[in-house]
Amino acid sequence: MAMRFSQQAAQNLAAIREKKPLVHNITNSVVMNFTANAILAMGALPVMADAENEVEEIVAVADALVLNIGTLTEGRIGSMIKAAQKASEQRTPIVFDPVGVGATRFRTETAKNIIDTTPISVIRGNASEILSLRHKASQPKGVASAHTVDEATPTAKIIAKELNTIVAITGHVDMVTDGLREIRISNGHPLMSYLTGTGCASSAAIGAFLAVENDALRATAMALAFFGIAGEAASKNASAPGTFMGCLIDALYAITPEDLRRGCRIDLS
């Protein structure tokens, strides 16, 4: 099974580079540049349009939509809802990244509203964010997580079942679930937590894999393995977060399907 998973991951990476899926991101101002460069490097095409009066036309030609609520504004909420409606009409996969949910009522209400009204394919967040989608008291410190992946796993499974979606919790070891199955991915490097936007960019990578792989559970795990392997490769050329940033983008570009096949450290249970 693990063997088949990694082979399929490799094929999907090759497919991304051949088909160059268009990943539409409505995301926060902090990570726009890094996210666009990460998508380009891995071989897909980014579009970052977020104005309410154009997102429908953009998403109409996109292969995946990624919604991210960092630096949220009323305008961006309207754009997210319009884009999500169009995406769901066209059965375009939607990734939701609830950055900082639980930190403010504004984010919590927006996040809950989005997941209640939109058919999300995948929700990806850190442990505090996933817990905050259901509970009140997780108290994240800004956008950093105050909880472990294991603590949030039962909540992730409940959300996945109720919403008929995939939930991914990223952290030291990532966990992806459809409510029944759990996949754990051990790829990654500690320097990634010293760089803003690695979570957001991994959500965008999920979007690219969803564009070529119908099984959303596996697509998500493959994207996280790929992104984690890129972090491992970057750490061989950089020992601090500033140069690590460039090396991570380099690795997203340079990693071959064969590197991905060999590098996957996953646990399918």
Residues that bind a copy of itself in the complex, under the rule CB under 8 A: 20, 22, 24, 28-34, 36-37, 40-41, 45-51, 53-54, 57-58, 61-62, 70-75, 100, 103-107, 139, 141-144, 194-197, 238-243, 245-254
151 Cβ contact partners less than 8 Å away, ≥ 6 residues apart: 127, 131
Please provide the DSSP assignment of 183-248 as one string. Answer: EEE----GGGGGSTTHHHHHHHHHHHHHTT-S-HHHHHHHHHHHHHHHHHHHHTT-SSHHHHHHHH
DSSP 3-state of 92: coil
| Residue 55 or 176 with smaller CB distance to a copy of itself | 55
Q: How far is the CB of 268 from a copy of itself (least distance, A)?
A: 31
Q: How far is the CB of 112 from a copy of itself (least distance, A)?
A: 15
End-to-end Cα spacing for the chain: 10
What is the spatial distance between Cα 205 and Cα 80, in angstroms, rounded to a whole number? 19
| Residue 90 or 164 with smaller CB distance to a copy of itself | 90
Q: How far is the CB of 120 from a copy of itself (least distance, A)?
A: 22
| Residue 154 or 246 with smaller CB distance to a copy of itself | 246
Q: How far is the CB of 170 from a copy of itself (least distance, A)?
A: 16
List the structure tokens of 153.
Answer: 């796993």
| Residue 142 or 180 with smaller CB distance to a copy of itself | 142
What is the spatial distance between Cα 206 and Cα 197, in angstroms, rounded to a whole number? 14
Q: How far is the CB of 251 from a copy of itself (least distance, A)?
A: 8
| Residue 59 or 219 with smaller CB distance to a copy of itself | 59
Q: How many whole angstroms from its chain centre is CA 94?
A: 10
